[in-house]
Structure 1
Amino acid sequence: METSILNTINSPEDLRKISSERLPQLAKELREFIIDIVATKEGHLGASLGVVELTIALHYFFNTPKDLLVWDVGHQAYGHKILTGRRQNFDTNRKLNGLSGFPKRTESIFDTFGVGHSSTSISAALGMAIASKLNGEKKQHIAVIGDASIASGMAFEGLNHAGVTDTDLWIILNDNAIGIDPSVGALKEYLTKAGIGKKPKQANIIEALNFHYSGPIDGHNFDSLFSAFEKLKKVKGPKFLHVITKKGKGLQKAEEDQVKYHAPGKFDKETGEVIPKNEEKLPPKFQDVFGLTLVELAKENKNIIGITPAMPTGSSLKFMMEEFPDRAFDVGIAEQHAVTLSAGMTTQGKVVFCAIYSTFLQRAYDQVIHDVALQNLPVIFCIDRAGLVGEDGATHQGVFDIAYLRCIPNLIIATPADEVELRNILYTASLGLENPIAIRYPRGRGNINNWKKTFKKIEIGRSRKIQSGEKVAILSVGNMLQNVKEATKKFSENFIEIIDMRFVKPLDEKRLHQVFKKFTTIITVEDGAISGGFNEAVISFANQHRYNSSIIPLGIPDEFIEHGTIEELQNLAGISVKAIKKTLDEVLT
């Protein structure tokens, strides 16, 4: 039996000691290792399988970590982590207190830049290259970016600047025609036409930006990669290598269904078959409630439009794209464009539902303020993955949206507690509002199977009382209501009053006056940052009206929350069922 090569490699220095003839065997072992771990531990699969040869070649050819390697997003960096000293604990990937699912500076000297969101690699690597030049240091700076990410505005900003610098900057375009969903847009079509073996294009967009362009080459062929590296090493200034790869390479199922196998969950490592979850009787995912409800509404209103930046599957806008392809748009990784595009359509009488993950809406903050709220255009922001999202960790937790949206004039913030409330606020928004609205809902499933009920209009800014009580009041935001209801079961019903606030802005001031006049102790529960969040809105109300009740905040503390299961993270943040019970015990004893 052939001795394992991978088990002898604990650093790129070890990698560079083996002969190049053995690299194909190493690639085979690395793929098998990634498949073995992800099959049982879950995580991002297809992206890392697609860059196995490229990852090995980069660490073999360049003198990392002196030469600085920056990965864009980081979905594809599992092989990088395994080759840079983290093989033995890679099974802790994305687990509480384990390895991050993305490159992270505090985790390894080989992780030169923390990532998670797309299109940052070129700017970061260029910044490093300029700094190295100023420091008089001779080193290489390599950004590895995908064809979906390079179409983003920020990537173009980096390219535009880099093209007029005299720096040792390499941009490796990992072109596989897909991000999480298939890549879209004119640049994608341009890159597709420039396939391996095709005649070079007379008008090259990269060369027009003052880069030395090379490729496209086969990213799974070591000879092609090393030959290209050797030629480009002799080139002065910024250089661009176009590499063609196949997402999911080495696992047939992952190659055939690249969307599903981006992050497939558990699967059979031999056959690639995803292990089915028993989902027959489970409630729907909130994203599906959004997507399916939107189709219902669009059937009745031809002015309804759906827009998402590169997340048609994740947001479930795919349902509308299938039903009404001319009224649903995937604009690629371009959150700023998505928001202003929505604003433009709204000026012409369209009812626009703009579906963006909470963590990604952060990237379009100026557009939300300047292009939507300032003009009071009634864009409907459907904020998916609001609150804690779990294993994706600090870069993806949707815990800041309440805080960063609450200060914006004209903007309504709705926080439906369950599937039926989500359905009804979507319906209410579709009827026409005078203001823009942000509707936030969590990742994962709710609790109601029979959610397709007759639509009911919700009064904007009106809360609902769930339970009356005499000792303490709990003001709940969004799906935290489920934790609150569960946590209060052991207490006498007449002890605790529970209010589903429904809206963070405008607050139901009539209800708040009633609560503050009745209770000396009030608990606020939110799955967002306490700093600037719902609790501070309640405190502001109390101060304005000179109430002196004790207000206890339960929410996300003033720190970045790392990766783990949602249940684990809720417990750490003090908003789990167990944590809420503990607070109630302290208050009521």
Structure 2
Amino acid sequence: MPLSPRQTHLLDLIERPADLRALSRGSLAALAEEMRHALLEQVEATGGHLAANLGVVELTLALHRVFDTPYDRLVWDVGHQTYLHKMLTGRRAWMSQLRQHGGPAGFTRRAESEYDPFGAGHSSTSISAALGMALAAERKGEDRQAVAIIGDGAMTAGQAFEALNHAGDRQANLLVILNDNEMSISANVGALNQHLTRLRSKPVIERFRHSGEEILAQAGPLGELLGSTRAGLRDGMRHLLGTSSLFEELGFRYFGPIDGHDLDTLLDTLTNLREQHGPRLLHVVTQKGRGLVPAERDPVGFHGVGRNGVSRAMATSADKPAKPAGPPTWTEVAAARLEHHAEHDERVIAITPAMIEGSGLKGFAARFPKRLYDVGIAEQHAVTLAGGLATEGMRPVVAIYSTFLQRAWDQVIHDIALQDLPVTFLVDRAGLVGPDGPTHAGSFDLALGMSVPNLAIAVPADAQDLTAAIDWALAHDGPCLVRYPRDKCPDHLGGRPLAEGTTAPTLLRHSAANAPRRVLMIGIGAMVERLIPISEDLDATLVNLRWARPLAIEPLAELAAEHDAVVTVEEGARIGGVGSELLLALAEQGVSRPGLRLGIEDRFIEHGSREECLADTGLDSGSIAASIAAFIGDPDKVSAT
């Protein structure tokens, strides 16, 4: 069922938030409906994060209505729920290119707009950033407001509580809005979620607090005395009823919970809080996927959708196209192998930081629910938890995106590698991820991991490599990282081992002995498949490295000695990457050859399609072929590509 277009007369009037503030209050409910439908049309055209944005329509409108943005700072956590914020801040027309090459990012970006005071992508950073802005305003004598908007899922991360603790201690002029939709990407877990559930169920104290404020304000000195007595009574009632909030213990005044879809309540409450000072927390209850029934029923499935995803969601089952056939993804292959091991070894335990669906663990969760720990957005805890399990004979597997593993490298080094504990890391989304851009790219895991003692690193090129790597990792008495991209996974690329042992590289192609300039190409991970036709075209030798650590340097040195030049290709940071280590190790073996290292350049690669991102850093097939041909001095090959 196609999405029907709808007039947006009110939204069309808004170029900046000042235009929103000029509208009558009575027109805002209609504006909210126009915004919600415009959002559906937008995501239908470009794809993107849907359910979270549907849940903050009224909240976004109210924030820009009440606060003097951009003078007042709105700091959105994660930033994937800011499509409406972007529409209201001069970027509505540009949104037709959302998450596309040259278009606006799917998250907040300082370079995009003065209304984005802090960039985002990863979770749980907003309170720290907004606190920094609040403290700066205090030092400069400015009366601007700093507002952090953070979801209850993001509140499970330690950084959020570190910032709350500091803000409460400093009594900073900071407003935190807790957007409570009981979700991150997956359903929320943990004691904090249970605490918020109790708060949602006991709003009686807030009704008590509001009921006499106006009377006391008019009572002069007697009102002040009664007010202090009443505050003590209120606090006593909180403890008696078990509703004293954790946030009050951290030094915040707690307000709420309120209905995040009731515009009048939002506007009145935010107006009141704008006039107050000190650390305040407003608890707003919203519904992820609000206004689109399929998304309300399945907010996880509608967290992110592709183009035409809205109309597909609204189609009847008979109208919905069948899922296209094709090879499985790397995620699916890894998840299936993990389930295989869990079926045969009760020591195998899976751990994920709020990424059950994204890491392919839904099947594992269904089959082995007592052996899956979803720790919430708590990457550091996830890694050290795995370490503790490993000390007691378990075989923990941390399923995590490369970009989120960045948040836990101290734990990988200090808690796992230093103690040589048998923890397996299934590192998904390694390399460039396309539309999600630089905040979510897995560019740095190889460069970070190559220098860590005891850490084995598998760089599989196909499904056979991947399953063999997981088998090896779960039998290995030490830490192992297995990295793979977000893409379809080839079954088997062939080749023969260059040496004995599971971690040996394989030779896929050997150049002719009489070639005028013999080149050894060493492919790392998913880049190997791209190199096969290039090696044939250039008559080059091609090796699938398979393992970055330990490096099987002896057979590679023997092979390199037969060639005039060595080329390495990896979908990771070129500086400090596998190619650098390979060429250095070859030189130490006495095999010094001209070397070309291809990888992600020393810059952040902007969003676009995966192929556009690869081309942007010279890792698409045409650019790789041209770079190698130029390196070996073959101008005909350069012009041919």
Where 1:442 maps in the other structure, the secondary structure is coil
1:113 aligns with 2:118: yes
For the Cα contact (< 8 Å) 1:196–1:218, is it kept in 2?
A: no
Aligned partners of 1:91, 1:39: CA distance in 2, in Å?
10
| Aligned with 2:478 (options 429, 435, 442) | 435
1:211 aligns with 2:258: no
Gap runs ≥5 in structure 2: 1-5, 206-241, 495-499, 513-517, 635-641
Cα drift, residue 319 of structure 1: 1.4
1:444 aligned partner: 487
Cα drift, residue 571 of structure 1: 1.3
Where 1:313 maps in the other structure, the secondary structure is coil
Where 1:114 maps in the other structure, the secondary structure is coil
Aligned pairs for 1:9-20 within 5 A: 9-20=14-25
Aligned partners of 1:459, 1:132: CA distance in 2, in Å?
61
2:367 aligned partner: 323
Aligned partners of 2:324, 2:439: CA distance in 1, in Å?
32
After superposition, the Cα gap between the structure-2 partners of 1:127 and 1:5, relative to the gap in structure 1 and judged at 3 Å, is same
Deviations 1:549-579 (A, max 9, x none): 1111111000001101111111121111111
1:518 aligned partner: 562
| Aligned with 1:253 (options 294, 298, 313) | 294
2:229 aligned partner: none
Aligned partners of 2:339, 2:589: CA distance in 1, in Å?
44
Deviations 1:475-520 (A, max 9, x none): 00001111111333434xxx21110001111111122211221111
Deviations 1:250-285 (A, max 9, x none): 111111110111102133645733796764431111
| Aligned with 2:523 (options 471, 476, 491) | 476
Aligned partners of 1:159, 1:427: CA distance in 2, in Å?
43
Where 1:164 maps in the other structure, the secondary structure is helix
1:5 aligned partner: 10
Deviations 1:107-127 (A, max 9, x none): 100001010000000000001
Which letter maps to 1:515? L
Aligned partners of 1:203, 1:102: CA distance in 2, in Å?
34
Aligned pairs for 1:89-108 within 5 A: 89-108=94-113
1:454 aligned partner: none
Where 1:490 maps in the other structure, the secondary structure is helix
Which letter maps to 1:530? R
Cα drift, residue 160 of structure 1: 0.6
1:172 aligned partner: 177
Aligned partners of 2:314, 2:534: CA distance in 1, in Å?
39
Gap runs ≥5 in structure 1: 452-457
Aligned partners of 2:312, 2:409: CA distance in 1, in Å?
44
Aligned partners of 1:56, 1:76: CA distance in 2, in Å?
13
Which letter maps to 1:478? G
Where 1:183 maps in the other structure, the secondary structure is coil
For the Cα contact (< 8 Å) 1:286–1:444, is it kept in 2?
A: yes
Where 1:283 maps in the other structure, the secondary structure is coil
Which letter maps to 2:545? M
Aligned residues: 579
For the Cα contact (< 8 Å) 2:535–2:542, is it kept in 1?
A: no
The structure number with the bigger radius of gyration is 2
For the Cα contact (< 8 Å) 1:43–1:264, is it kept in 2?
A: yes
Aligned partners of 1:268, 1:555: CA distance in 2, in Å?
34
Which letter maps to 2:522? L
For the Cα contact (< 8 Å) 1:339–1:367, is it kept in 2?
A: yes
Which letter maps to 1:81? K
Cα drift, residue 543 of structure 1: 3.1
Deviations 1:399-458 (A, max 9, x none): 10000111111101110111121112112222x21321000011121133999xxxxxx9
Aligned partners of 1:20, 1:234: CA distance in 2, in Å?
19
Which letter maps to 1:241? L
1:462 aligns with 2:510: no
Deviations 1:315-360 (A, max 9, x none): 0122111101111111000000000000000000001111110000
2:243 aligned partner: 202
Where 1:260 maps in the other structure, the secondary structure is coil
Which of 363-372 and 32-41 deviates more? 32-41
After superposition, the Cα gap between the structure-2 partners of 1:486 and 1:281, relative to the gap in structure 1 and judged at 3 Å, is farther
Aligned partners of 1:585, 1:509: CA distance in 2, in Å?
25
After superposition, the Cα gap between the structure-2 partners of 1:539 and 1:270, relative to the gap in structure 1 and judged at 3 Å, is closer
1:490 aligns with 2:537: yes
Cα drift, residue 527 of structure 1: 0.2
Aligned partners of 2:622, 2:307: CA distance in 1, in Å?
28
After superposition, the Cα gap between the structure-2 partners of 1:91 and 1:467, relative to the gap in structure 1 and judged at 3 Å, is same
| Aligned with 2:438 (options 383, 389, 394) | 394
1:416 aligned partner: 460
Deviations 1:44-87 (A, max 9, x none): 11111100100010000000000000000011100001100000
Which of 346-355 and 576-585 deviates more? 576-585
1:264 aligned partner: 305
Where 1:111 maps in the other structure, the secondary structure is coil
Aligned partners of 1:367, 1:145: CA distance in 2, in Å?
25
For the Cα contact (< 8 Å) 1:284–1:449, is it kept in 2?
A: no
Which of 256-265 and 481-490 deviates more? 481-490
2:141 aligned partner: 136
After superposition, the Cα gap between the structure-2 partners of 1:428 and 1:273, relative to the gap in structure 1 and judged at 3 Å, is farther
Aligned partners of 2:380, 2:468: CA distance in 1, in Å?
28
* RMSD over equivalenced CA pairs, Å: 1.9
For the Cα contact (< 8 Å) 1:521–1:550, is it kept in 2?
A: yes
Cα drift, residue 196 of structure 1: 6.1
Deviations 1:264-312 (A, max 9, x none): 2133645733796764431111111111211111111011100000000
Where 1:320 maps in the other structure, the secondary structure is helix
1:506 aligned partner: 550
TM-score (norm: length of structure 2)? 0.88
After superposition, the Cα gap between the structure-2 partners of 1:120 and 1:556, relative to the gap in structure 1 and judged at 3 Å, is same
Aligned partners of 2:443, 2:311: CA distance in 1, in Å?
38
For the Cα contact (< 8 Å) 1:104–1:111, is it kept in 2?
A: yes
Percent identity of paired positions between Structure 1 and Structure 2: 42
Which letter maps to 2:521? I
Which letter maps to 1:438? L
Deviations 1:81-107 (A, max 9, x none): 110000011011100111111000001
1:61 aligned partner: 66
Cα drift, residue 462 of structure 1: 1.2
Aligned partners of 1:487, 1:165: CA distance in 2, in Å?
60
TM-score (norm: length of structure 1)? 0.95
For the Cα contact (< 8 Å) 2:312–2:320, is it kept in 1?
A: no
| Aligned with 1:224 (options 259, 262, 265) | 265
Which letter maps to 1:37? Q
Cα drift, residue 42 of structure 1: 0.6
More helix by share: 2
